[in-house]
Amino acid sequence: MFGYYILIAGIALVSWLVSNRLQSKFDYYSKVHLRNGMSGAEIAEQMLHDHGIYDVKVISTPGRLTDHYNPVDKTVNLSEAVYNQRNAAAAAVAAHECGHAVQHATAYSWLTMRSQMVPIVNVSSSLSQWLIVGGLILGIASKGLSIGYIVAIVGLILMGIATAFSLITLPVEYDASNRALAWLKNKNMVSQQEYAGAEDSLKWAARTYLVAAIGAVASMLYWALQVFGRRE
């Protein structure tokens, strides 16, 4: 278990560093005001309409960097710092979330797969580690197909589903950013300086998902070694 704590601490440290860097980037590019004077909400609505999407609402949501697209009620939820602001960071985030709306409208396969996994992941992510630890406690090292071993394997399967979800999230997020940046550039929505800021902001946002995926894979491998190693 000591090795696991070291692993978790290392991942948490990297995650904190990346998140902190994202915050500083967002703050920096929030000072780069858009020449077109459009707010994040207006950027979002324009991108949706340019893609022929009129059944998605753009609404404001409390918090900071709480922006997300909800495919269930078809809403682009923009944080207060994005919805009302008129800067490169707000434009980047607003366009990115609309990128998810475009994915939804065009039945982007990775997003469809990710959405289908959400109900399972909501359960598996909270139960997997408890089942693995419980299986180890029950004594998976005993000879034969023990109950503990079966419980631990079930836990690993559930953890594998959650890990797969983290990996599938990567192409979804990167593709949304690519769609956002392409639209901002092709429609001349931003200047060269503003575009550079938007690109840099989205790059660091994507890295938070990358760190999460690496952490999920590392954690699963650790527990797999614990289960199968003790079995042997």
CA–chain centroid gap for 43, Å, is 22
50-100 pLDDT, tens per residue?
999 999 999 999 988 899 999 999 999 999 989 999 999 999 999 999 999
Q: State how far the Cα of 93 lies from the Cα of 78, in Å rounded to an integer.
A: 8
Are residues 92 and 29 in contact, defined by beta-carbon separation less than 8 angstroms? yes
Catalytic residues: 97
* Cβ-based neighbours of 205, under 8 Å, separated by 6 or more: 22, 93, 96, 173, 177
* Cβ-based neighbours of 66, under 8 Å, separated by 6 or more: 77, 79
What is the reported pLDDT for 15?
A: 87
Residue 141 has pLDDT above 70, yes or no: no
Q: Is the pTM of this model over 0.75?
A: yes
How many helices, marked H, and strands, marked E, lie in the chain? 7, 3
Nearest to 69 by CA among 52, 39, 47, 87: 47
More confident residue, 135 or 74: 74
Task: Name the least confident of 23-27, 87-91, 189-193.
Answer: 23-27
208-230 pLDDT, tens per residue?
999 999 999 999 999 998 888 76
What is the reported pLDDT for 156?
A: 94
